[in-house]
Structure 1
Amino acid sequence: MSSHTILDDLIARLPEKPVPVRSVLVGAHWTAVCSTACGLATTVMGGGCHNHENVVRNVGHLHEKSAQELAAFALSDNPIEAGIGVAAINSLLVPDESRAVLLNASEVLMKKGAGKNVALVGHFPFIPRLRTAVGNLWVLELHPTGDDYPAASAADLIPRADIVAITASALINHTLDDLLGLCRPGVDVLILGPSTPLSPVLFEHGATIIAGSRVADESAVLHAIGQGAIFQQVTGVRLLAFTRPGDAPV
C-alpha cells in the first residue's frame, strides 16, 4: 500500500502534458470539469448560506487553466475548490471500460452484504432497500439523521464490518485515507458515487471495488447540474463498477 495519500498518487499519475479545460461548472449538488472527458464531483459547500470563508481562487478564470492545474485544487481545505480538483482528476481519467460492469453500487452491496455487517459512509437514497437485504447496516454521516451514526463512530464500527462502502466524497473532505485504514484486512471495500476516480490508485490503497460514473452526454449533464439537479435527475451518465485485478468479478 502506498505511503502517499490517495490524492497525491492520483495527481502524480495524471498525464504530464497539460490538457486544456473546456468548461467548469459548480452546481448546487454537483461540480463538473470538462477536459479530456467530463469529470464529476460532489459540490460540498461547507458552512452556511453565503459562506465567505470558501472563496474560490481565480474564479472566472478557471477555464483558462490546465486540467492538471485544477486537479491540484483537490488538496485544498476549501471544499468547493477540493470538489473542483476531484472533478478535474476525473476529467483526465480514461478507464478501460472493457473491464467494467454496468452496475449500480447498491446492487453490489445487497448481493455481497446478505446476512453480514455492512458499514456505509455517506447517506445514499438506496439505504431503505439495503437495510432489508443485509444483516446489520451501520450508516455513518457527518450530519447524521434518523438511524445514522455520527462520523466519530467510524473507529468503532468500521473495524467490525464485513463489508465497508465509502462515499468518494470522502476524497473531497480528505477523510478517505483514514477511513480505509480502519478496514479489516480481507473484507470487501467499495468506494462509490459519481465522485469516484476510476483509477487503479484506489485499489493500491485498499479498495476492492470502485463504482463510479462516466459522462456519455456532456451537454445533458451540464444542463441538469447547472439547474440544480440531484444525481437521480441527471441523464447521460453511465454507472460503472470495476473489481480489483485478480479478484472475482462483481
Structure 2
Amino acid sequence: MKILTDILSSINDDTLVDDVVRGLYWTAVTSSSCGLSSTMFRDCAHDHSDDVEPVVLIGQPAADIARFSLSPDIGMASLGLAAINSLIPIDLSQCVEINAGKIIMDKGRGKNISIIGHFPFVDDLKDVAKNLWVIEKWQRPGDYPAEDASKYLPDSDVIAISSTTLINHTLEDLLPLCPTSSFTMLLGPTTPMTPVVFDHGIDMISGSLVIDKQLALTCIKQGANFRQLKRSGAIRLLSLQKS
C-alpha cells in the first residue's frame, strides 16, 4: 500500500472532522473541504459482538481518520479515502474540467483499451477501440473477471483504473501489469487529486471537487448515485495530467 502511505505522508493538515455522511453510494467526510469516496461494504468483515465501542469520527483529526484507508476492512478503508480527499488541496490552475470518458476515447481510438471497473461510458468505447476489455469483479454481460487483468493489461495501450482499487487495496497489484508505454489513468470520485500518485506509474487522474457542500451532503443522504450528484450541480469533474 505504498501509494496510500505516500499520500498520507504528504498530508500536513490538522483540521478536525466536522461531519460524516455515509450514503447508499457515496461516503462524505468534511474537514478542510468535503471529500468523497465510494461507499463499499462488500467483502468487509462485520463484528456483531455487543461490547464493541462505536467509532467516534466527528471532532477527530481528519488525518487520523484518513489512516483508516490502510484498513483491511473495506468499509473503514472507504471512510479513510473520503477523509484523505477532504484534506487534499486541489490546484485548480493545473486541472482541466473534462469527462474522463472523452479522454479515454480520444487516447484510445484504434488502440487496445482496458478498463478496470464498469463505467457508464464503456459502451461508447466499443466503437473506437481496436480491442476493449472491461475487467470487473462484479461482472455484467461482456465483462471479464478480475483475474483476467494479468492477461489483458500487458497488451493494453490505454488503461483506466477505478480509484475504488485504492479502497480494496488491489491497485498496487494492477500497476505492475501496465506497460510503461501505456497511458494509465486513475478515475472516479474516490480519486485523490494529488500529484503524489504520478510517482507510481499513473499518467493522469480524474476525480471530482465538491463545490456545494450542503447540497452534496443532502443528495448523498438521500441515496443519490453519481449521475444524480453531478446533475445536482454539487460537484465538478476535474482531471490532472502528469507534467
Deviations 1:45-101 (A, max 9, x none): 1149xx73499x864621121100100000011111101100000000012111111
Structure 1 residues not aligned, in runs of 5+: 246-250
- 1:203 matched to 2:207: no
How far does residue 145 in structure 1 lie from its aligned partner after superposition?
Answer: 1.7
Residue of structure 1 equivalent to 2:70: 75
Residue of structure 1 equivalent to 2:120: 125
- What TM-score, normalized by structure 2, do the two folds share? 0.94
The within-5 A match list for 1:161-240 is: 161-234=156-229, 235=232, 236-240=234-238
Q: Is the 8 A contact 2:43 2:74 kept in 1?
A: no
- 1:107 matched to 2:102: yes
How far does residue 192 in structure 1 lie from its aligned partner after superposition?
Answer: 0.4
Mark the CA change 1:242 to 1:54 in structure 2 (over 3 Å): closer, same or farther: farther
The within-5 A match list for 1:140-151 is: 140-151=135-146
CA distance in 2, matches of 1:174, 1:12: 17
Residue of structure 1 equivalent to 2:30: 34
2:83 to 88, 102, 109: 88
Deviating runs (4+, > 6 A) in structure 1?
none
- What TM-score, normalized by structure 1, do the two folds share? 0.91
- 1:13 matched to 2:21: no
Mark the CA change 1:58 to 1:157 in structure 2 (over 3 Å): closer, same or farther: farther
Structure 2 residues not aligned, in runs of 5+: none
CA distance in 2, matches of 1:239, 1:139: 22
- 1:52 matched to 2:50: no
Q: Which amino acid aligns with 1:219?
A: Q
How far does residue 133 in structure 1 lie from its aligned partner after superposition?
Answer: 2.4
Identity of aligned residues (%): 41
Aligned residues: 238
Mark the CA change 1:74 to 1:52 in structure 2 (over 3 Å): closer, same or farther: same
Mark the CA change 1:172 to 1:150 in structure 2 (over 3 Å): closer, same or farther: same
CA distance in 2, matches of 1:58, 1:86: 22
CA distance in 2, matches of 1:97, 1:54: 44
Q: Is the 8 A contact 1:20 1:66 kept in 2?
A: yes
How far does residue 186 in structure 1 lie from its aligned partner after superposition?
Answer: 1.9
Q: Is the 8 A contact 1:155 1:182 kept in 2?
A: yes
Deviations 1:148-206 (A, max 9, x none): 00000001110110011000000000011111111001210000000000011110001
Q: Which amino acid aligns with 1:137?
A: L
SS at structure 2 position matched to 1:133: coil
